[in-house]
Amino acid sequence: MIRSDNLRSAFTQEDVDKYIYDLLPERDAVVQEIEKYAEEHRTPIIGPAVARLLTLLVQVSGATRIFEMGSAIGYSTIWLARAAGPKAQVFYTDGDPENAKRAQEYFRKAGVAKRIKVQVGNALELVKKTPGKFDFIFNDVDKHQYPDALRSALPKLKRGGLFVTDNTLWSGKVAKPAEPDDKYTRGVQEFNRLVYSSKELFPVLIPLRDGVTVCRKV
């Protein structure tokens, strides 16, 4: 079991953290390959515990049209595409062409390439430009962009759809006053404030790994 910063929580007891990850079933070869690459190259991924939460949310909601804001090397994209099934349409977005190229190879190996549309560019602009509405939007862009990501994504989410955001406890930093130059912590704090004050959303912040906020559009 890989024990990297992608898996550890900054605010959960280490033994509890270990217990959670030790419970998880072994992943298939492609997912393990991505986890190993992420560990070796310090590439952020959501890790298998959060990935299983995403899988469950997609399955119980019946989501088939999914937009991912900030997909990196495609780890979470594969979990989303598998959860949504063969008729899924999952939109991958990332600003780095090299990330997209690597992700596409993983999609091919995982057998889900036909379910995924790869888009390279600014996720906040791409979600607005992509036609139609979505059943499920997963937000994992740069943290200072979180408030704007919410504003861009919400009009594109269908009523009853889920808007899920990673890193909403931000290593526990959100619980303390942010330094004036810490735009990342301030971005997450503002995002959390916005979703909990929104009349369009019903949010729950789950303290899994680095915090996951699940919002349903009402």
**Is residue 15 pLDDT above 60, yes or no?**
yes
β pairing state of 134-139 and 116-120:
unpaired
pLDDT in tens, 86-123: 999 999 999 999 999 999 999 999 999 999 999 999 99
pLDDT in tens, 147-174: 999 999 999 999 999 999 999 999 999 9
CATH number for 125: 3.40.50.150
Query: What is the average per-residue pLDDT within 72-88?
Result: 97
What is the pLDDT confidence band of residue 12, given thresholds at 50, 70 and 90?
confident
Number of domains in the chain: 1
Domain-embedded: residue 68: yes
Write out the residue range of the structural domain in which residue 31 sits.
14-217
Domain-embedded: residue 56: yes
SS3 at position 194 = helix
- Neighbour tally for 13: CB within 10 Å: 9
- Nearest-angstrom CA–CA distance, 47 and 61: 21
Domain-embedded: residue 8: no
- Nearest-angstrom CA–CA distance, 52 and 13: 21
Determine the longest span between alpha carbons in the chain, in angstroms.
47
**Is residue 19 pLDDT above 50, yes or no?**
yes
End-to-end CA distance of the chain: 39
